[in-house]
Amino acid sequence: MATKPAPRVVKVAAAQLGPNQKAVSRASILDRMLKLMDEAAAQGVKILAYPELALTTFFPVHYLADEDEIASYFEPTSAADPYAVLSSPHAKPLVDKANALGIDFYIGFAERWTGEDGKTTDYNTCIYYSVAAKNGVGKYRKVHLPGTKEPLPNPKAFQQLEKKYFTPGDLGFPAFRAPGLIDGALKAEDVGQEANSVAKGDPIMGMLICNDRRWPEAWRPYGLQGAELVIEGYNTTAWAPQYDGTPEEQQKLAEFHHRLSCQAGSYQNALWSINVAKCGIENEQGLIAGSMIIDPLGRVVAESKTMDDELIVATIDLSMCQSQRGRVFNFEKHRRLEHYGMILDQVGLQEIPLLSRAS
């Protein structure tokens, strides 16, 4: 029997948010977020996760024609300052409090990026703010944008227009290390002495946003990079007039698919995940709750109970990832790349011909 790896313990939390109605002020949203950070600090939390598009209402469910209104939901960033959102008045109070309390945080927001050529591109983005680094140390742009580019013609239809408002993420699935969280972790100056020493460095983190969690192709790159914790914020529609079933049935199904996807992603990649909702009835549209912290065996260890602002907390041991990685999910021993080619060879479904028999 293998000896247990040394524990790598950190206290984490999901800051589930209730609805951000269109009519309310940005300041009042920020106040609720700050209050949850205070609660987290009181419990000794070191990593706090806010949802996708946490600073505003979930505007992609509306067809908006007014460019000024659209712009009001975005935070500017640029090649010169990729984490500019952290100095925006819409987020700076979070940074100040995080520094005062010693809490790292993940936050989702709409990003209007100005590249080196001066052109702007809009993304559905999240960043990880590190107190030890006094800056963002991780950025991710949503790869799997759901919905359509054009609004559905049916006037009663529920709209999901992320493909209209955002460009698919261009950063891939970049894992990163978050400093200052684990006592005795190897540091930058140790590089070269004990580089890549398995799970002795700072925690390896990954980030996803909402619909990404349904795609195994989004989780696997983090597993392959050794991520120990993936954070994922979401706004997930509970029902829509064009779907089958009563609103209650639809909501139950949406919750089931959310849970199934997050548990499978964690289990199959042997990593912790924090999954955090914006939820409740927002601008008359229901969003599911179900924020949860999941262990590397796919088990839910903490789960929200309300459809409103709520903190869920867990003390997690990152070293748990290592046991699974030595056994069932030892990728090196068990993965067979020679048979996975189709995953990269074709984008869409290519139904096999009518006359197809194996030899």
Query: How many whole angstroms separate alpha carbon 13 and alpha carbon 33?
Result: 13
Distance CA 71, CA 65 (A): 11
Q: Exactly one of 9, 101, 253, 313 binds its own copies (CB under 8 A); which one? A: 253
* Known catalytic membership, residue 134: no
Indicate the residue among 27 and 132 with the shorter CB distance to its own copies: 132
The binder of its own copies chosen from 31, 38, 81, 190 (CB under 8 A): 190
Exactly one of 108, 136, 286, 290 binds its own copies (CB under 8 A); that residue is 136
Which of 14, 199, 292, 312 contacts its own copies by CB under 8 A?
A: 199
Instruction: Figure out which of the listed residues 34, 70, 186, 301 binds its own copies, where binding follows CB under 8 A.
Output: 186
Q: Is 25 in the site for its own copies (CB under 8 A)?
A: no
Size of the site for its own copies (CB under 8 A): 92
3 is a contact residue toward its own copies (CB under 8 A): no
Considering 46, 139, 142, 278, which one is annotated as catalytic? 142
d(CA 81, CA 238) in angstroms, rounded, equals: 36
Which of 174, 180, 303, 319 binds its own copies (CB under 8 A)? It is 174
Name the residue among 286, 258, 169, 210 with its Cα closest to residue 53: 210
Position 149: which residue type? K
When asked if residue 143 is in the footprint of its own copies (CB under 8 A), the reply is yes
Q: Which of 198, 249, 305, 306 is in the footprint of its own copies by CB under 8 A? A: 198
| Contact predicate 166/142, CB 8 Å | yes
Binders of its own copies among residues 264 to 323 (CB under 8 A) are 264, 267-268, 297-299
The beta-strand segments (E) located in 178-299 are 204-209, 229-234, 272-277, 280-282, 285-287, 292-294
Residue 85 CB, nearest approach to its own copies (Å): 14
For 67, what's the count of Cα atoms within 13 Å in the CB-facing half-sphere? 2
Residue 282 φ then ψ, to 5°? -115, 120
For the chain, give the number of residues. 359
Annotated active-site residue 52? The verdict is yes
Known active-site residue 119: no
Closest approach, Cβ 346 to its own copies, in A, equals 6
Tell me which stretch binds its own copies (CB under 8 A): 22-30, 42-50, 98-106, 261-269: 261-269
Backbone angles phi, psi at 84, to 5 degrees: -55, -30
Between CA 172 and CA 285 the distance in angstroms is: 31
CA distances from 301 to 182, 184, 220, 294 (A): 21, 26, 22, 6
Window contacting its own copies (CB under 8 A); options: 103-111, 215-223, 275-283, 309-317: 215-223
Of the residues 111, 139, 164, 210, only one is catalytic, namely 210
Which is nearer to its own copies, 40 or 271 (by Cβ)? 271
* CA-to-CA separations, 178 to 182, 271, 326, in angstroms, rounded: 9, 15, 24
Instruction: List the interface residues with its own copies, window 324-353 (CB under 8 A).
Output: 325, 328-344, 346-353
Residues acting as catalytic residues: 52, 142, 210
